[in-house]
Amino acid sequence: MDQQLNELQEKLKDILTEKRFLHTLGVCHTAACLAMCYGADIKKASIAGILHDCAKCLPDEEIKRRCKEYQIDMTDVEERNPYLLHGKLGAYYAKINYGIKDSDILNAIIYHTTGRPNMSLLEKIIFIADYIEAGRKEISGLSEIRNIVFHDLDKAVYMALENTLKYLNKQIANGQHKEIDKMTLNAYEYYKSGIMEQQNEE
C-alpha cells in the first residue's frame, strides 16, 4: 500500500469504531476499483474513500458545535439535521489534520452523503462507493445498482439517489425523519434529467 494511504489508515483506525473503520476500508477499495474502471486517479479515489467518514465518529451535536467553531457554513436544514454535516467537517479535517489540499478530494468528502448536481467523476465515485460497498446490508435495489455501476456510473448514481429519497420519504411518513436536504433533491433531478435524455437519444 502507498505510504500516505497506509498512514491515513493507521490514524483512522484509532479514531473510528471497528464497524465504521471496516466500512471506510470497503469504500476505499470500492472507490479504487471504480477509479480503475472509469479512468479516474486511483490514489485520489483511495484517499477520498479512506477519509470520507473521518468526522463521523462524533455525536451530531458535537459535529454542529465544531462546524460553528471552525466557521463552516451550514444551511438551515443542516443545522436541524447535524448528521448531514459530517461531510463538511470531514473535509475540514482532511485539509487541516491530514494535509489534503486537492479540492476534488475535499469536495468528494463534502458531498458523499447528499450528492449534488453535476458531480465530478471522483465525487460520483465516492458517493456511489459509500452506497454500495460490500459491507452494506442488503436493501431494496442495492443488488441492481451493484450490477450496473461498472457499466453506467451516472445511472447508478441516479438509482441510489432515487432509493435514498424513497427511504427518507417513507421515514417522514412514519414520523421518523423530519426533512430532506435540498441538495439531494437537486442532485436527483439533475441525474434523472440526464438519464431521460439518454433514453430519448436511444
* Mean pLDDT of all residues belonging to the chain: 95
- Report the alpha-carbon distance of residue 37 to residue 28 in Å, rounded: 14
Q: What is the mean pLDDT of residues 104-122?
A: 98
Instruction: Say what the pLDDT of residue 140 is.
Output: 87
Show the domains of the chain with their CATH numbers: 3-201 (1.10.3210.10)
133: confidence class by pLDDT, cuts 50, 70, 90: very high
Q: What is the mean pLDDT of residues 80-104?
A: 97
Q: Using the predicted structure, report yes or no on whether residue 177 has a pLDDT greater than 90.
A: no
Instruction: Say what the pLDDT of residue 71 is.
Output: 97
Upper half-sphere CA count for residue 197 (Cβ side, 13 Å): 7
Instruction: Say what the pLDDT of residue 34 is.
Output: 98
Q: What is the mean pLDDT of residues 59-76?
A: 96
Q: What is the mean pLDDT of residues 53-71?
A: 96
Q: Tell me if 162 sits within 8 A of 180, measured CB to CB.
A: no
Scan for cell 483512522, then name that residue: 12
Instruction: Say what the pLDDT of residue 186 is.
Output: 97
119: confidence class by pLDDT, cuts 50, 70, 90: very high
| Phi then psi dihedrals of residue 54, to 5 deg | -65, -15
Q: Using the predicted structure, report yes or no on whether residue 24 has a pLDDT greater than 80.
A: yes
Instruction: Say what the pLDDT of residue 202 is.
Output: 63
Identity of the amino acid at 39: G
- Report the alpha-carbon distance of residue 85 to residue 177 in Å, rounded: 16
> Could you tell me how far CA 127 lies from the centroid of its own chain?
4
Q: What is the mean pLDDT of residues 31-38?
A: 98
Q: What does the pLDDT look like over 141-167, one tens digit per residue?
A: 999 999 999 999 999 999 999 999 999
Instruction: Say what the pLDDT of residue 199 is.
Output: 72
